[in-house]
Structures are given as structure tokens and as C-alpha cells.
């Protein structure tokens, strides 16, 4: 799979899948960003891809979580899978601060965070076949039809993700919005580089690796179904 040209990069797009919201930053989160981000953060760099083995000091597989929210799932996975390296990408500052507090509190050495657009991180900072798993849990569904173009799951995005996955690498998506679940399914089924792990080509039961977040638990109490899709790179 060839690399996109500068003109063809997704990073040149004018439509983003997120909007920066000015959430409340607590004193603890602000302090974490000031003191812990230099230790556990990765500065966005458009010059060259990351050397992941050097970054983590080992050759363990790397999982990337796109839009980790407050970082609870990211931290839990890092605790449960100490032989996996994790990179979490999030644009919202309070979530980054919350995650940094969790990394420090759990004394984790296998997590790094990037406060930046995940598509730019994938496209510019990560090499082809460098990731064992890409995780996309509960992205913004952009529910109004006129906003569907903002949904992160698009053909170009899936082609990019597939290029960054190693052989038999995994893309795991989850949503509690039924319409978006069908959208994801249709686009994933149409991606020639990815294969559905579900026997009937549809959804799977929640894998043990995916932590059930407080957001998800709240949704379940409200009667929301949750849809998981797990695809492997061919």
C-alpha cells in the first residue's frame, strides 16, 4: 500500500470529525498537563514517524486509542495488559489531564498520550504496519444527516488505518448509536483491506479487552444497545 502524496493527505481536509469544546479544566488536570505531559506525552511532530521501540524501550505490540475521552478505558487496558504499549490520542485538554493523573497514579510505563488530531497522528507520525490494534470507542456520531460528512469512519480513514496495522492487526470500533453502527458496518464491509471477524459479517459481543466505561454503563441504564465491530487487516 503506497503512502498518500502531500496533496492527497487527509490532513489537508477542511472537515474535521471533532469540535474543540472549552470544558472545565480542574486545578489537578492543569497541574498534570504542566508536570506530567513532558514525561508521558508525545509532542506532535510533522518531520518524521515515531520510533516506537525507542519511545517505549521495548518491542511490545502497540495499541492506539483514538479519542480516549477521560482516559478511563485507556488506563484500565494498560493495567490489564502490561506487555502491550498504548498510545492514546485526544484533543480535549481536560481528558488529557485526567488520563495523565491516572497514568501517574497507576505507575504505568506502557502509556503515552498525544493531544492532537488522531488522523494527523496516524498519517504523519506512525509508519505503515506499526500498530497491532487501533481502537475507536464511542466516537461522536454526528447524528444529523447534514453532519454525516464529519463522521470519522469514512472510506479514506479506513484505508489509512489499514495501512498502519500490522499483518492480522485489529481495528475495533464501538458505538451506542444504532444508525452510526450501521454506517460503520457498511463502510467496514466495503474496505478491501479489512475482514470482519464476525461469522455472519456483522457485530460481535463486547470483547474482554474493551473496558466497559462509565459512559457505556450510563447508556445501558438508559436502554441503549452497544455495537462492537472487530476487523482484521488482510
Annotated active-site positions, please?
140
Q: Specify which residues 113 forms β-bridges with.
A: 41, 88
Amino acid at each position: 500500500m503506497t503512502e498518500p502524496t502531500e496533496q492527497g493527505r487527509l490532513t489537508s481536509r477542511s472537515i474535521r470529525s471533532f469540535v474543540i469544546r472549552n470544558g472545565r479544566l480542574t486545578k489537578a488536570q492543569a497541574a498534570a498537563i504542566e508536570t506530567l505531559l513532558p514525561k508521558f506525552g508525545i509532542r506532535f511532530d510533522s518531520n518524521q514517524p515515531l520510533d516506537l521501540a525507542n519511545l517505549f524501550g521495548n518491542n511490545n505490540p502497540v495499541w492506539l486509542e483514538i479519542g480516549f475521552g477521560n482516559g478511563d478505558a485507556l488506563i484500565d487496558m494498560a493495567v490489564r495488559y502490561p506487555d502491550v504499549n498504548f498510545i492514546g490520542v485526544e484533543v480535549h485538554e481536560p481528558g488529557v489531564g485526567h488520563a495523565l493523573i491516572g497514568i501517574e497514579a497507576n505507575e504505568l510505563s506502557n502509556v503515552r498520550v498525544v493531544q492532537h488530531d488522531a488522523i494527523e497522528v496516524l498519517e504523519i507520525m506512525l509508519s505503515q504496519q506499526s500498530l497491532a490494534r487501533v481502537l475507536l470507542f464511542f466516537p461522536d456520531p454526528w447524528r444529523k444527516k447534514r453532519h454525516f460528512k464529519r463522521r470519522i469512519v469514512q472510506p479514506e480513514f479506513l484505508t489509512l488505518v489499514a495501512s498502519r496495522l500490522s499483518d492480522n492487526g485489529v481495528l475495533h470500533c464501538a458505538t451506542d448509536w444504532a444508525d452510526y453502527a450501521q454506517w460503520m458496518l457498511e463502510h467496514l464491509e466495503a474496505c478491501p483491506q479489512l475482514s470482519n471477524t464476525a461469522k455472519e459479517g456483522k457485530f460481535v459481543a463486547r470483547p474482554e479487552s474493551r473496558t466497559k466505561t462509565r459512559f457505556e454503563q450510563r447508556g445501558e441504564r438508559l436502554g441503549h444497545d452497544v455495537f462492537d465491530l472487530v476487523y482484521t487487516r488482510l
